[in-house]
Structures are given as structure tokens and as C-alpha cells.
């Protein structure tokens, strides 16, 4: 039997990159997948890919930082499929800037998406999940929740915030049968990182510092996501799994 058979799974930021890979991986395991992205046409493309493969999918245009948008999407999922069993908070941005020379408005944009968006979906999605009898929340953090880098202070703060929120929320909602965990990717080849990885010297820099000798691909996250979403991890909550080629082990 497939590991996510008939589970309703919502993935944010799923029109491309890591979110798309996770959504498609869930569908292969039998999940009914909800694709949410600011890029509505892109979300529909992914949903149609899943449908053509014989699985069920819905697509919604949504802004994770907008409470009304989040509430509307969750209500639509409830109206369409009646429950929510898995939530993956993947949407994020990776703006790089020197802290003292930037506009505070830039912080707001990054924190709204990377942190507030996670809180909003955990709140609205978590309430539906509670009514559904429990489930699994998977928040996407970063290896930068554990280490610091220049010009990434606000980004690291946002991902560190998600890591600690994950731990605390797991304690709050365990009594409802809801597990909350996080995945911390290393350098993954997505639109967010592609500009850096196109520079040969920068690519070599990453490859030389990752014990497994390569940067990651979105598909590298799928196994961890399926594990944390499924009953295989029924006794796992409040933890972070780092998918980083061994970078943090050094």
C-alpha cells in the first residue's frame, strides 16, 4: 500500500522547485495533493501533471503572508475534500542584503513570507487538521537555521524562528494527534539558488564543502518529506531533519 494513500496534503510554494518535487512525490504515494502558490498558472500546471499521472490534485493561487488568502484556501480545501491530513510549509524567499544598509521594509517582506506565512498556515491548517483527527505538519527551514552567514541575518532569523516554532508547536498540538517536524535543506538547485550556481567558482566552492560532493536537487527532499508526512514517523515530532549532504556534520 502507498504510504500516503488518500491523505489530503497541502504544499505551499509548490509551483516549482522543492515544493513541486514534494507535491509530486506525495502524489506518487497516493496523496490527494493541494498545490498553493502565488503563481496560480504554475500551480495549475503542477496539479495537471499530477492528474495526468492518475492522482488527485487541486490548485490555488495564494499568498502565504495574507491571512485572508490562507483562510480562503483552507476553507476551500475543507469544502472540496472535507479534511486536511498533511501540511507542508515550503514557500519562502532568500533575499540577501547587508543589514545596516537596507530598508526595514525588506525585512518585513522576508519575515512575512518565511515566518508569518508558516504561522498562518499552521493556525488555519492546524485547526482543520485537528477537526480531521490529527495529521502531520512539515515546515521547511534551512541549514542556515543552525549556522550564520554574512548578509543573511534576517533570513537566518526567519529560518531559526521556524525551527523553534516547530519545536514548540509540536508540544502544543501533540494532544490532538498532530505531529510537527521540519526539514532543513542545504544548498538545493532551485530558482532561488540558480544564479549563484551558474558561477563555476561558486558551484565548486559548494561542492568542495559538502561531504557528499554535490549540491542537492529538489528530489533529494522527497524521501524525508514522505517519511515525516506518513505513519512511518508516527513517533517523531518536534525535530528537524537536515538534508544537506552532510554539511552540518562537519
Per-residue pLDDT of 153-163, as tens digits, reads: 999 999 999 99
Average pLDDT over residues 31-54: 99
pLDDT above 90 (res 231): yes
Please name which of 37, 1, 31, 48 lies closest in space to residue 136, comparing C-alpha atoms. 31
Helices 17-28 and 222-229 pack at an angle, to 10 degrees, of 50
DSSP codes, 225-249: HHHHHSGGGTT--S-EEEESTTGGG
Over the stretch 110-148, which tens digit does the pLDDT of each residue have?
A: 999 999 999 999 999 999 999 999 999 999 999 999 999
Average pLDDT over residues 184-212: 90
Residue 106's pLDDT is 86
Q: Which of 23-27, 30-34, 203-207 has the lowest mean pLDDT?
A: 203-207
- Whether the pTM exceeds 0.75: the reply is yes
Domain map of the chain by residue range?
8-242
Residues with active-site annotation = 155
Pick the CATH number of 8-242 from 3.30.70.1150, 3.40.50.150, 3.40.50.720, 3.40.1160.10: 3.40.50.720
Q: Report percent pLDDT > 70 for the chain.
A: 100
Average pLDDT over residues 57-72: 99
Confidence category of residue 193, pLDDT binned at 50, 70, 90: confident
Whether 194 and 184 have beta carbons less than 8 Å apart is answered as no
Amino acid at each position: 500500500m502507498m504510504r500516503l494513500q488518500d491523505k489530503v496534503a497541502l504544499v505551499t510554494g509548490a509551483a516549482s522547485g522543492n515544493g513541486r518535487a514534494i507535491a509530486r512525490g506525495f502524489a506518487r504515494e497516493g496523496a490527494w495533493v493541494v498545490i498553493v502558490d502565488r503563481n496560480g498558472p504554475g500551480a495549475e500546471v503542477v496539479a495537471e501533471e499530477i492528474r495526468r499521472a492518475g492522482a488527485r490534485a487541486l490548485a490555488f493561487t495564494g499568498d502565504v503572508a495574507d491571512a485572508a488568502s490562507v483562510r480562503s484556501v483552507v476553507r476551500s480545501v475543507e469544502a472540496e475534500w472535507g479534511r486536511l491530513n498533511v501540511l507542508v510549509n515550503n514557500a519562502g524567499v532568500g533575499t540577501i542584503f547587508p543589514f545596516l544598509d537596507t530598508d526595514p521594509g525588506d525585512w518585513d517582506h522576508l519575515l512575512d513570507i518565511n515566518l508569518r506565512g508558516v504561522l498562518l498556515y499552521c493556525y488555519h491548517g492546524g485547526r482543520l487538521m485537528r477537526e480531521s483527527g490529527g495529521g502531520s505538519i512539515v515546515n521547511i527551514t534551512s541549514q542556515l537555521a543552525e549556522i550564520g552567514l554574512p548578509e543573511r541575518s534576517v533570513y537566518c532569523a526567519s529560518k531559526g524562528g521556524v525551527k523553534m516554532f516547530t519545536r514548540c508547536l509540536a508540544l502544543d498540538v501533540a494532544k490532538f494527534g498532530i505531529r510537527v517536524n521540519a526539514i532543513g535543506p542545504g544548498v538545493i538547485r532551485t530558482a532561488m539558488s540558480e544564479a549563484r550556481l551558474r558561477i563555476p567558482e561558486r558551484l565548486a566552492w559548494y561542492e568542495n564543502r559538502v561531504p557528499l560532493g554535490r549540491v542537492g536537487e529538489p528530489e533529494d527532499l522527497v524521501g524525508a518529506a514522505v517519511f515525516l508526512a506518513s505513519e512511518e514517523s508516527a513517533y517523531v515530532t518536534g525535530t528537524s531533519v537536515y538534508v544537506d549532504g552532510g554539511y552540518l556534520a562537519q
